[in-house]
């Protein structure tokens, strides 16, 4: 980057034009800021070997002329809370504008989340009177009466005798309550998403109960956020604020590491292994490891080889017949034969990664063993799922949120999936579900499964509105939805997309063979979910949230769309390149489920993963496995994920317990369950919401996180423009001015500064940096010789 602006003190300043109109923060931007800062700190000032050095007399004379200052009246220079009057109105005005822009971005997100009913207390399942069926296991402490204790021991003994059969054994579909029909109506609105109406007259008049942002409003809001995060000064400002958070964390650890260790040792019973941790991002069809799947296939080959498992080419084939057609026996199978692990050949090759879901490279084996809708109604997948869940129940402290697919090719997919779950009794206190919707419209269009994008919206959401209106129309689906947390959207984010999105047609008019972009999918998932949630909330049914795959690859539009519409995201590694958006994700505390072992195999090597940096800065992150079948080797993939991260990044026990606590907070379990796991006031901010007896996270750590976030949010609320147009004249602190150097690079501010008397300006600037005045004095003495 050319550095062609020079201040009076010899500091080079980057041109405004050097920051291209993009939110990404490139390597040369980083180095320019580092060089800029180092010159302010006099790290780049060289001493000519031919110059005359200061004599003892010069030094003594200089020191004797320094006036004595009473220390009691001078605030500590390193205290970021020290208040002072800002003398440069141009800087403070631009700083206020930037704070105002960031606050508006946060307000936009709050509006979208509120309208869609994705806030914590919008969900009826988080109320005290919500009934969980089957009920969660009772508390093990304090001990119950002797009769109850004997009953629990007998039940546990039976479970240990046959752990797989015990999964879902306490579920009885006939005991489930099915409410009656509701008077409200629903139908497609003019924008292509479903709306809810009080009656048929309102539906005819086009007057829905709730209004939601139109596609035009959504894209205008996206444009605004993209313009904010692409602004050069905003990128520099956010980058410096994030560096400040890094430095603050380092200082905190140096001062409090021993105290955290002492607090953890004083906590009875709890350690990393027996605090609750949730795998917040794992795909159901790959929830087992390779050895488990191999063992299951071999057992079926030996004991159930005569099962008719598939219909191909007009013939019904048994499991034995399928393997004979592949010229394989059970003895021939091995981990290498299955070839399902993502090795080096999958890096930046999402197409090859998708093929890894096929055992031995055969799609028919994937259909037999890893599909819910097949010739055997998903019986094999249900059995291996119960085996995995039984291991989780035995471990007690590990929970999972399995993602299972609804494709949108036909309208009966929901009923088939719900009946698969209910009929196989896949209910467990360690298990909840998310619905993933693959972005594969172009494939369905080519195979003539759908005519336009509206067909996918209808197939995905119409059954949900039907079961909300009348649960008796889809009773299994009603019961299944009580264990569903929300929606995900999946596919290869690195696929190129149409850059101009304002002229996108409505879903009924999108009948081309091109796939809609990520933001188009996400908007229509958001709009339909928002209308559905308002109705379900009114009926007392649980609501659903958006937690899409986002930021694994692709463009920054994905992260921006998710910032507006989604409760949380998975991956998010591209935030490392977008400092302003990363700062917004921090301020909003959006949950990010990161999977570094998955990223290491597909998109980003482990040592470059930003997880430790995100964690230090205070972003709301958790660890997850993504695909244990492709990326993990052990029976406990989530513990494997934690152990690798702890070894590579030197995470302490407190760090891992904090990540585990974050995973519970991000998860979709009911408030009653979370209260038992991490404390009855877990939703409250700061120390008030932490129960160290349950989380093993010291109060000093939680307090530090809360105070740091509160300082950042307070600065925004203090200096952002107010609704009543008043201006806050409270003196600014040094904390508020972190990042101002990024704003001072604009030419208008530099001209404003240089318009002051030069000596005064230099004197003011020099007083801001410890040690600079002595260097300047030495330079003056040299020029006098």
Q: Are residues 515 and 439 in contact, defined by beta-carbon separation less than 8 angstroms?
A: yes
Distance CA 517, CA 192 (A): 16
Active-site residue flag, 571 = yes
Please name the residues in contact with 749: beta carbons below 8 A apart, sequence gap of 6 or more: 88, 90, 91, 94, 743
Q: Are residues 369 and 375 in contact, defined by beta-carbon separation less than 8 angstroms?
A: no
Provide the token pair at 783.
Answer: 């020029």
Q: Are residues 731 and 86 in contact, defined by beta-carbon separation less than 8 angstroms?
A: yes
Return phi, psi of residue 83, to 5°: -90, 145
- The angle subtended at Cα 114 by Cα 595 and Cα 701, nearest 5°, is 50
Q: Are residues 630 and 342 in contact, defined by beta-carbon separation less than 8 angstroms?
A: yes
Please determine, for residue 216, whether its predicted confidence score (pLDDT) is greater than 60. yes
Please determine, for residue 348, whether its predicted confidence score (pLDDT) is greater than 90. no
Q: N- to C-terminal Cα distance for the chain?
A: 36
Please determine, for residue 36, whether its predicted confidence score (pLDDT) is greater than 60. no
Distance CA 653, CA 399 (A): 19
Provide the token pair at 16.
Answer: 């405004």
Q: Which pLDDT belongs to residue 104? A: 94
Return phi, psi of residue 380, to 5°: -65, -45
Q: Which pLDDT belongs to residue 576? A: 94
More confident residue, 33 or 700: 700
More confident residue, 496 or 293: 293
- Domains, the chain: 1-45+53-65+746-785 (no CATH), 127-179+216-712 (3.20.20.140)
73-115 tens-digit pLDDT: 445 555 666 665 555 565 577 788 888 899 999 999 999 999 9
CA distances from 682 to 273, 623, 702, 767 (A): 20, 19, 11, 45
Return phi, psi of residue 727, to 5°: -120, 135
CA distances from 436 to 1, 147, 281, 487, 488 (A): 43, 45, 11, 6, 4
Q: 549, 571, 632, 676: which one is catalytic?
A: 571
Strand pairing category for 308-312 and 315-318: antiparallel
Q: Which pLDDT belongs to residue 47? A: 40
363-386 tens-digit pLDDT: 888 888 889 988 899 999 999 999
Give the confidence band of 65 by pLDDT, cuts at 50, 70, 90.
Answer: low
Residue 697 burial (10 A CB sphere; 0-12, 13-18, 19+)? buried
Q: Which among 281, 244, 119, 226 is positioned nearest to 584, based on CA atoms?
A: 226
Q: What integer is the mean pLDDT of 15-42? A: 58
Distance CA 356, CA 659 (A): 30
Mean pLDDT lowest among 54-68, 141-155, 581-595: 54-68
Please determine, for residue 500, whether its predicted confidence score (pLDDT) is greater than 70. no
Q: Which pLDDT belongs to residue 495? A: 83
pTM: 0.84
603-640 tens-digit pLDDT: 888 999 999 999 999 999 999 999 899 888 999 999 99
Please determine, for residue 656, whether its predicted confidence score (pLDDT) is greater than 70. yes
Q: Are residues 410 and 449 in contact, defined by beta-carbon separation less than 8 angstroms?
A: yes
Distance CA 362, CA 77 (A): 68
Distance CA 381, CA 362 (A): 17
Distance CA 158, CA 152 (A): 10
Distance CA 734, CA 756 (A): 22
Q: Around Cβ 634, how many Cβ atoms within 10 Å?
A: 13
Distance CA 573, CA 565 (A): 19
**How high does pLDDT run on average in the chain?**
84
Distance CA 361, CA 338 (A): 8
Give the confidence band of 487 by pLDDT, cuts at 50, 70, 90.
Answer: very high
With tokens 């009875």, the residue in question is 268
- In percent, the amount of the chain with pLDDT more than 90 equals 56
Which H or E element spans position 227? helix 215-230
Give the confidence band of 775 by pLDDT, cuts at 50, 70, 90.
Answer: very low
């Amino acid at each position: 980057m050319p550095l062609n602006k020079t201040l009076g003190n010899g500091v080079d300043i980057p041109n405004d034009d050097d920051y291209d109109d993009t939110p990404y923060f490139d390597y040369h931007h980083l180095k320019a800021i580092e060089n800029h800062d180092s010159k302010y700190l006099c790290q780049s000032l060289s001493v000519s070997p031919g110059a005359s050095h200061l004599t003892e007399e010069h030094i003594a004379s200089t020191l004797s002329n320094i006036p004595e200052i009473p220390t009691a009246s001078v605030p500590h220079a390193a205290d970021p809370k020290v208040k002072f009057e800002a003398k440069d109105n141009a800087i403070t005005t631009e700083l206020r504008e930037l704070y105002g822009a960031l606050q508006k971005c946060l307000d936009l997100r709050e509006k979208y989340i509120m309208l869609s009913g994705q806030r914590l207390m919008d969900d009826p399942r988080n109320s005290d009177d919500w009934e969980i069926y089957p009920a969660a296991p009772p508390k093990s402490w304090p001990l119950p009466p002797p009769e109850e204790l004997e009953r629990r021991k007998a039940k546990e003994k039976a479970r240990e005798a046959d752990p797989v059969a015990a999964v879902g054994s306490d579920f009885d579909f006939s005991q489930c309550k099915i409410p009656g029909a509701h008077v409200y109506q629903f139908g497609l609105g003019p924008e292509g998403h479903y709306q809810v109406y009080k009656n048929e007259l309102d539906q005819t008049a086009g007057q829905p109960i709730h209004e939601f942002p139109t596609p035009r409003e959504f894209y205008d809001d996206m444009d605004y956020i993209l313009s904010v995060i692409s602004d050069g000064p905003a990128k520099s400002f956010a980058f410096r604020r994030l560096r400040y958070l890094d430095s603050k964390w380092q200082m905190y650890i140096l001062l409090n590491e021993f105290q955290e260790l002492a607090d953890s040792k004083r906590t009875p019973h709890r350690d990393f292994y027996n605090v609750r941790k949730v795998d917040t991002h794992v795909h159901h069809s790959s929830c087992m490891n390779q050895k488990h799947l191999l063992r299951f296939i071999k057992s079926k080959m030996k004991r159930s080889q005569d099962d008719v498992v598939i219909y191909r080419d007009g013939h019904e084939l048994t499991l034995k017949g399928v393997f004979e057609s592949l010229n394989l026996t059970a003895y021939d199978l091995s981990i290498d034969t299955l070839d399902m692990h993502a090795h080096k050949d999958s890096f930046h090759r999402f197409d090859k990664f998708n093929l890894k879901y096929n055992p031995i490279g055969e799609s028919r084996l994937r259909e037999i063993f890893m599909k819910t809708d097949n010739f055997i109604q998903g019986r094999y997948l249900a059995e291996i799922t119960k085996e995995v869940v039984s291991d989780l129940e035995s471990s007690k402290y590990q929970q999972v949120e399995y993602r299972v697919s609804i494709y949108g090719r036909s309208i009966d997919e929901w009923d088939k999936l719900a009946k698969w779950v209910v009929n196989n009794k896949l209910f467990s206190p360690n298990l909840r579900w998310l619905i993933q919707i693959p972005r594969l419209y172009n494939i369905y269009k080519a195979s003539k499964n759908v005519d336009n994008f509206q067909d996918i919206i209808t197939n995905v959401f119409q059954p949900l509105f039907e079961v909300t209106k009348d649960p008796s129309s889809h009773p299994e689906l009603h019961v299944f939805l009580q264990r569903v947390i929300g929606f995900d959207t999946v596919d290869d984010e690195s696929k190129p997309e149409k850059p101009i999105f304002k002229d996108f047609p409505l879903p009924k008019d999108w009948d081309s063979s091109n796939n809609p972009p990520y933001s188009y999918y996400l908007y229509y998932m958001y709009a339909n979910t928002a209308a559905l949630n308002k109705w379900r909330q009114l009926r007392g049914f649980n609501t659903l949230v958006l937690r899409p795959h986002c930021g694994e690859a692709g463009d920054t539009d994905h992260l921006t769309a998710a910032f507006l519409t989604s409760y949380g995201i998975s991956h998010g590694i591209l935030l490392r390149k977008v400092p302003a958006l990363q700062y917004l994700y921090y301020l909003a505390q959006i949950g990010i489920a990161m999977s570094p072992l998955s990223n290491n195999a597909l998109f980003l090597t482990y040592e470059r993963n930003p997880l430790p940096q995100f964690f230090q800065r205070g972003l709301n992150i958790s660890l997850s496995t993504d695909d244990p079948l492709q990326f993990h080797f052990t029976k406990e993939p989530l513990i494997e994920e934690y152990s690798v991260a702890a070894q590579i990044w030197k995470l302490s026990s407190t760090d891992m317990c904090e990540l585990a606590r974050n995973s519970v907070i991000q998860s979709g379990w009911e408030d009653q369950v979370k209260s038992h796991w991490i404390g009855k006031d877990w939703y409250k901010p700061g120390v008030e919401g932490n129960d160290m007896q349950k989380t093993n996270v010291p109060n000093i750590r939680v307090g530090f996180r809360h105070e740091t976030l509160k300082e950042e949010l307070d600065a925004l609320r203090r200096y952002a423009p107010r609704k009543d147009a008043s201006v806050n004249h409270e003196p600014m602190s040094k904390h508020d001015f972190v990042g101002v150097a990024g704003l001072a690079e604009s030419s208008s501010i530099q001209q404003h500064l240089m318009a002051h008397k030069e000596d005064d300006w230099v004197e003011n600037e020099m007083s801001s940096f410890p040690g600079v005045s002595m260097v300047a004095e030495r330079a003056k003495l040299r020029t006098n010789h």
